Amino acid sequence: MSGLIRVCDVEKYYGTQSNITKALNRVSFEINSGEFIGIMGASGSGKTTLLNMLSTIDTVTSGHIYFEHQDITTLNEEKLALFRKANLGFVFQDFNLLDTLTIEENIMLAMTLQGKRKQEIHAKCKQTMEQLGIAQIKDKFPYEVSGGQKQRCACARALVNEPKLILADEPTGALDSKSATALLDTFTAMNEKLGATILMVTHDSFSASYCRRILFLKDGEIFHELVRGNGTRREFLNEILDVLSLTGGDVADAR
Amino acid sequence: MLGKLTLRNVRRSSKDYMIYIVTMAVVASLMFAFNGMMFSRDMKELYREFAIFIAFVAMASFFIIMIVIWLVHYMINFMMEKRSREFGTYLLLGMRKKQIAAIFRRENILLGLISLLVGTIPGMFFQISFTNIFYSIVDVEYHISPDFSPWNLLLTFGLFLFAYILALFRVKRKFKKMTINSLIYLDRQNELVKNEKKTWKKLLVFISVAYIIIFNVLVLNSNMSMGSVWLYIAGLLAAIYLLYIGLSSFFISYIKKQRKGIYKEANIFVLRQLSSKIKTMRFTMGTLTILFTTALLAWMVVMMFADYQNKELARNLPFDVQVFNEDTKFDFKHELSLISEASTIKDQHIYNIYEKDTDHINQYLYDHVEGTWQGEGREGSSYFTYDTYIGISDYNYIRSMLGYSPVEIGSNGYLIHCVERVQPYLEQLARNGSIMDEEQQDKDLIYKGMYTEPLSQKGMNGADYLIVVPDSYMKTMHPYYSLLAVSLEGKAPSDLSERLAAIQPSYDGNGDYHLKMQYGYGSSNIISYSGIVLVRDNSIVEVGLALISMAFVLAYIGIVFLCAALTILAVQQLSDSSKYKFRYSILKQLGLSRRETNRVVLKQLGVYYMCPFVISIVLSMFIGLFASERFVYYTGIQAGIFQYYLLAVLVFAVIYLVYFIVTYVGFLRNIYDS
């Protein structure tokens, strides 16, 4: 495994001079290619801010983020768009599907934007939808399918261009437990079988237990790191809950 | 507290609906300008037939008020829908529906007042520049003067308030019917996107386009009877609506057929956006297209008439001054001294038109020429009671006054001088040898030809025609009436026509003449210029002013209407841009750069705006071509309408472009606004 992303001393401040909020404080870590990494923390701990930095949607106040040795904090708007197109895939809590497009078209759009050819688009779309079990609903609109199906569509869209990194922001947040489990299994399969590198932000310890490694954020700083190693998922979940109960994570998680 | 809330809301609304406020301000400024001209002393001084102008503006005001009511009503409904959540919250807080309705009404009246106030200053500026244009038509220098009447302020204010109150009439009832639940969830209703099962709907596009083409072909070949034309027009209106109904399905079917175009960039997104937008807006867009077409056509037809009349004027009034008198021995002394007082006479001629108690030519024309009419008693008819004759020497004299070469008929010839319209009928009569009466002794006169140069033949030198006979024949005839023809050096003073009319014995002082004989006006049905005193320069100014007022008032209605319609298109898109902002942030996550996103928006707005524009231009162009062709057919005069049409389209396009750019910029600002 090689270092895909290096986050070096990233800081992010919000607000005006009189009222500054420090969302991230000198955060540094690395992500290797083929990893399934989780970022945990309570609300306001800076998870989403960190994700926005990595996804280039927001800019850093100071520090650097290297993506395959390229510093993406120095790129301009145009180059960032190109970078996102070529390297990143997104899965969000509220699915972020385009409501005017069908499931298939949502996935296709991600490819047409890259200027791929018609045959390639069709073949790849079909393959991805089959892998994620949504081929039978391809002509439906997002509002016509269940939350789990929507999220799998979002996964398919994130996967279809074979990005180097998939960013997932609370992907199970809007799902019932059954759909959530199914989705996390999908993530694991994507990671293990398709070799996708996934970074998942979550405050749900059950979801986090599917990751191979977890970074804990608190008040904008990384205060702990857990690696799953060879243990079972169940053991890993207990470890996560231990960390959370020690550090005042979600009370519900510690019970 | 409620007052404060109202003011805050007004401030927010004026930001959100800037385009609406500005449009209303433009409307208000135009209203100010036109109403101001109605009360303007400068205008009254300039324009003798000022009542015509007032009538035009009053008529226009009616349309403007209707348009304003429509727009305000539309906007109020729109705002109520957008702000329903807020109103639901007010209800939750314990406000009564009556109070909310009152706040909302007050807010809207305040918004109206803002527009009105903003429009005042440009309104004054418009009034000055419009008045200036009127002055330049008459070649009089306009000294800009603050000519603003308080009545204008009061009238414009009153009209505006009236429109707002009417538009706000049913607000209370609407609030009464709403429940908290429906208010809170009203704004959540998205445009419903469905995959049409009925693929036949896309056929409507082809059917409508085919119908429009057939309609245009029929129109251009004049293959429509007057009876069926209404049926065809009803079909055309239906075709426009059906086109929009089909268009949405057409886009979807294009996507489903997986044509090449959808694999380029974000086209698939653009097509879906358009199809859902057109689907919800189809009725509005159809109506707008029809109204745009009507506005363009109305402008074109009026301009065509205007141009026709302008050209006819020169033909109808070949002499500088002409006066008619029933008295066959009238000497026109008064008239001549009046004319020479004010200007220099270059040439003059007093002569008689003759009759010989016959009317067979007139009767023949009544029987054969379309559109002739016979009035009761002295109210006038197409032709005089008797056929009209003139002696060759008088005829040659007035020819020379107009610069035409003299003609010869010898001692036994006759010729005919007539308007083009009756030429074939009189030729037929002449060939039959029945111009001259068989019972009289003049059967031996030989037909020497026909002339159709303009000769003032709408009651002066005969109605439609004169038979020119040798002077020796005049002995057998009776003088019928007297005429004075005058050529002037330079221009006639502007009040000459009025002063000459005032000294006519038959003039009643109110613009009407009461003649003892039956006057002939000629057979032309299209706005004719006749009367017993004709002063060319005065008429040209008068007609010019009438034309320019007509053009101004039409442009006024057209522009206000266009702005109102475009405001609706723009407000729809702008509110969508904030409601569906997330769609564009998804595109950004998918890797679309700002430039590419701009292009997506441009495509989407472009097609949305182009639809009504292109369709109405295509339609009005073809129908306009037909109208002008018919016009040439009926009048024999080539009216130069295309420059007017192009002018209308140009104004149309410029206003369109302004709204388009404003919408585009606002749209981008909304979707990038974090």
- What does the angle CA B287 – CA B289 – CA B294 come to, to the nearest 5 degrees? 95
The answer to whether B359 contacts chain A (CB < 8 Å) is: no
Interface mutation target, options B191, B258, B586, B596, chain A, most CBs of A under 10 Å: B586
Q: Cα separation of B361 and B509, whole Å?
A: 35
What is the value of ipTM here, to two decimals? 0.75
List chain A residues with CB under 8 Å of B260: 118
List chain A residues with CB under 8 Å of B591: 81-82, 84-86, 88, 113-114
List chain B residues with CB under 8 Å of A99: 190, 193, 583
Q: Look at residue B528 in the predicted model and tell me its pLDDT.
A: 57
Of B195, B594, B595, the CB nearest to A102: B195
The answer to whether B189 contacts chain A (CB < 8 Å) is: no
Of A88, A100, A112, the CB nearest to B273: A100
Q: Give mean pLDDT in consecutive 10-residue pieces for chain B, a chain of 674 residues.
A: 81 85 92 87 73 84 89 88 82 82 89 91 88 75 72 88 86 78 65 61 85 80 71 87 87 79 82 85 86 80 72 79 89 89 89 90 88 74 89 93 90 89 88 70 77 87 90 88 90 83 79 79 67 81 76 83 88 85 85 87 91 86 73 62 75 90 92 78
List chain A residues with CB under 8 Å of B278: none
Q: Cα separation of B43 and B145, whole Å?
A: 12
Ranking A43-52, A87-96, B252-261 by mean pLDDT, the lowest is: B252-261
Q: Look at residue B633 in the predicted model and tell me its pLDDT.
A: 65
| DSSP element (H, E) containing A160 | none
A157 vs B257 pLDDT, higher one: A157
The answer to whether B265 contacts chain A (CB < 8 Å) is: yes
Determine whether the interchain pair A81/B592 forms a contact, defined as Cβ–Cβ distance below 8 Å: yes
Interface mutation target, options A85, A104, A107, A112, chain B, most CBs of B under 10 Å: A112
Determine whether the interchain pair A98/B583 forms a contact, defined as Cβ–Cβ distance below 8 Å: yes
Determine whether the interchain pair B595/A78 forms a contact, defined as Cβ–Cβ distance below 8 Å: yes
- The residue count of chain B comes to 674
- Statement: residue A255 has pLDDT above 50: no
Q: What is the DSSP letter of A29?
A: E
A170 vs B674 pLDDT, higher one: A170
Residues A132 and A156 sit within 8 Å (Cβ to Cβ)? yes
Transcribe A54-115 into DSSP letters.
HTTSS--SEEEEEETTEEGGG--HHHHHHHHHHHEEEEETT----TTS-HHHHHHHHHHTTT
Size of interface A-B (CB pairs under 8 A): 90
Q: Cα separation of B265 and A114, whole Å?
A: 7
Q: Cα separation of A30 and A26, whole Å?
A: 14
- Statement: residue A38 has pLDDT above 90: yes
Of A100, A115, A121, the CB nearest to B193: A100
The answer to whether B194 contacts chain A (CB < 8 Å) is: yes
Domain definitions of chain A by residue range: 3-254
Q: Cα separation of B647 and B597, whole Å?
A: 35
What are A182-211's pLDDT values in tens digits?
889 888 888 888 888 999 998 888 999 999
Determine whether the interchain pair A112/B266 forms a contact, defined as Cβ–Cβ distance below 8 Å: yes
Transcribe B534-587 into DSSP letters.
EEHHHHHHHHHHHHHHHHHHHHHHHHHHHHHHHHHHHHHHHHHHHHTHHHHHHH
- Statement: residue A128 has pLDDT above 50: yes
The answer to whether B674 contacts chain A (CB < 8 Å) is: no
Query: Helix B536-579 crosses helix B642-672 at what angle (to 10 degrees)?
Result: 20
The answer to whether B226 contacts chain A (CB < 8 Å) is: no
Determine whether the interchain pair B276/A100 forms a contact, defined as Cβ–Cβ distance below 8 Å: yes
CA distance A174 to chain B (A): 17
**Burial class of A114 by CB neighbour count within 10 A (0 to 12, 13 to 18, 19+):** middle
List chain B residues with CB under 8 Å of A82: 591, 593
Please tell me the pTM assigned to this model.
0.75
Task: Pick the residue from chain B with its C-alpha nearest to A76.
Answer: B593
List chain B residues with CB under 8 Å of A57: 588-589
CA distance A138 to chain B (A): 12
List chain A residues with CB under 8 Å of B195: 102, 139, 141
The answer to whether B588 contacts chain A (CB < 8 Å) is: yes
Q: Look at residue A6 in the predicted model and tell me its pLDDT.
A: 92
Mean pLDDT, chain A, integer: 85
List chain A residues with CB under 8 Å of B252: none
CATH T-level fold of A3-254? Rossmann fold (3.40.50)
**Burial class of B223 by CB neighbour count within 10 A (0 to 12, 13 to 18, 19+):** exposed
Q: Look at residue B674 in the predicted model and tell me its pLDDT.
A: 63
Relative to beta strand A3-16, strand A19-32 is: antiparallel
Determine whether the interchain pair A86/B594 forms a contact, defined as Cβ–Cβ distance below 8 Å: no
Q: Look at residue B443 in the predicted model and tell me its pLDDT.
A: 61
Of B276, B588, B590, the CB nearest to A109: B590
Helix (H, G, I), strand (E, B) or coil at B210: helix
Determine whether the interchain pair A81/B582 forms a contact, defined as Cβ–Cβ distance below 8 Å: no
- Statement: residue A67 has pLDDT above 60: yes
